[in-house]
Amino acid sequence: MEILRQKKGFICDMDGVLYHGNKILPGAKEFIDWLRAENKEFLFLTNSSERSPKELSQKLCRLGIEVGEEHFYTSALATASFVAWQSPGCSAYVIGEAGLINAIYDADLSMNDVNPEYVIVGETRSYSFEKIEKAVELVQKGAKLIGTNPDKTGPTEKGIMPATGALIAPIEIASGREAYFIGKPNPLMMKSALKKLGTDVKDTVIIGDRMDTDIVAGTESEIDTVLVLTGVTQKEHINDFSYRPRYVLNNVGEILD
């Protein structure tokens, strides 16, 4: 893995790479310690929209890994930035958790369940038929439908669970409108990550556990890709895709071997 260790910038997914729920994954702490010891530029880029960078930093701290919040970038931040760029100061009907709601407010946007310009959906544990009805109504009235990320599932301690792509599907079907997704593999997410890192494409690598988001995002951005087998995509499923990761590792710690 000497070629990987020579890279200057590391973009790393979190769920399925560093942890499952509140369980740290093998090699994660050693890998992050190595990034700091070698003065590497690194960014944890997650499609999860539930938590803010501060909360993600605190979560890693509880797992025994201290990383400053400046090293985190989420699909919630990318979504709020995109909507604010498209329609500054607009309003949105939001189905999501605190990480997404705070990002919306921080981008100088407001909440509106009467005549919003956007309906935005992210991961949430308070999903309900009432919220689906409201979202469908607003989209049919002309609100633009946005998903924080296209992931249909995500890894947890309990196994694979529904994610944004699955939650937004009923709204798409009932309204007859397709959502626009901001998170990986959207190039907007990758451009933001590279800008924050400040490294060149050829000196950067992306590490993830999903072929359909992390690996395709790196491939389309011409960044070297590493698939770790601790999350969603397993080795026997790699050939189901028309593209391949540059490297396949059992866990992120193998970069140090």
> What is the average per-residue pLDDT within 151-171?
86
Report d(CA 256, CA 181) in Å as an integer. Answer: 34
Q: Which of 181, 201, 235 is the last residue of a domain?
A: 181
Report d(CA 97, CA 94) in Å as an integer. Answer: 9
The band of 79, judged by pLDDT with boundaries at 50, 70 and 90, is very high
> What is the average per-residue pLDDT within 235-249?
95
| Total residue count of the chain as it appears in this document | 257
Look up tokens 């790393």; give the residue: 12
Q: How many helices (H) and strands (E) does the chain have?
A: 9, 15
The band of 3, judged by pLDDT with boundaries at 50, 70 and 90, is confident
Report d(CA 102, CA 55) in Å as an integer. Answer: 12
The answer to whether position 103 is within a domain reads: yes
pLDDT over 70 (residue 205): yes
Residue 80, helix vs strand vs coil: helix
The answer to whether position 143 is within a domain reads: yes
Long-range Cβ pairs for the range 80-83 (8 Å, 24+): 80/104, 80/106, 80/107, 80/109, 81/107, 81/192, 82/146, 82/182, 82/188, 83/107, 83/109, 83/118, 83/120, 83/146
Beta carbons of 25 and 18 less than 8 angstroms apart: yes
Domain count, the chain: 2
Q: Return the biggest CA–CA distance within the chain.
A: 56
pLDDT of residue 229: 95
Task: Please give the mean pLDDT across all residues of the chain.
Answer: 94
pLDDT of residue 198: 93
pLDDT of residue 159: 74
The answer to whether position 207 is within a domain reads: yes
Which tokens in the block code for residue 253?
């710690």
Closest by CA position to 47, among listed 227, 237, 257, 210: 210
pLDDT of residue 157: 67
> What is the average per-residue pLDDT within 204-212?
95
Which residues of the chain form beta strands (DSSP E)? Answer: 9-12, 19-20, 23-24, 41-46, 72-74, 91-95, 110-111, 118-121, 144-147, 153-156, 159-162, 180-181, 204-208, 224-228, 247-249
Beta carbons of 231 and 253 less than 8 angstroms apart: no
Residue 111 domain boundaries: 76-181
**pLDDT tens digit sequence for 219-235:** 999 999 999 999 889 99
Beta carbons of 45 and 78 less than 8 angstroms apart: no
The answer to whether position 8 is within a domain reads: no
Task: Based on the fold, state whether residues 88 and 176 are members of the same structural domain.
Answer: yes
Q: Which of 137, 166, 181 is the last residue of a domain?
A: 181
Residues carrying an active site annotation: 13, 15
pLDDT over 70 (residue 202): yes
> What is the average per-residue pLDDT within 148-157?
83
Look up tokens 């140090």; give the residue: 256
Kind and range of the H or E run holding 110? strand 110-111
pTM over 0.95, yes/no: no
> What is the average per-residue pLDDT within 142-171?
89
User: What count of other Cβ atoms lies within 10 Å of the Cβ of residue 232?
Assistant: 22
Q: Which of 158, 181, 204 is the last residue of a domain?
A: 181
The answer to whether position 2 is within a domain reads: no
Which tokens in the block code for residue 103?
């990002």
> What is the average per-residue pLDDT within 178-189?
94
Give percent above pLDDT 90 in the chain.
86
Residues 6+ apart with CB under 8 A from 172: 145, 178, 179
Task: Based on the fold, state whether residues 80 and 170 are members of the same structural domain.
Answer: yes
Closest by CA position to 250, among listed 236, 235, 240: 235
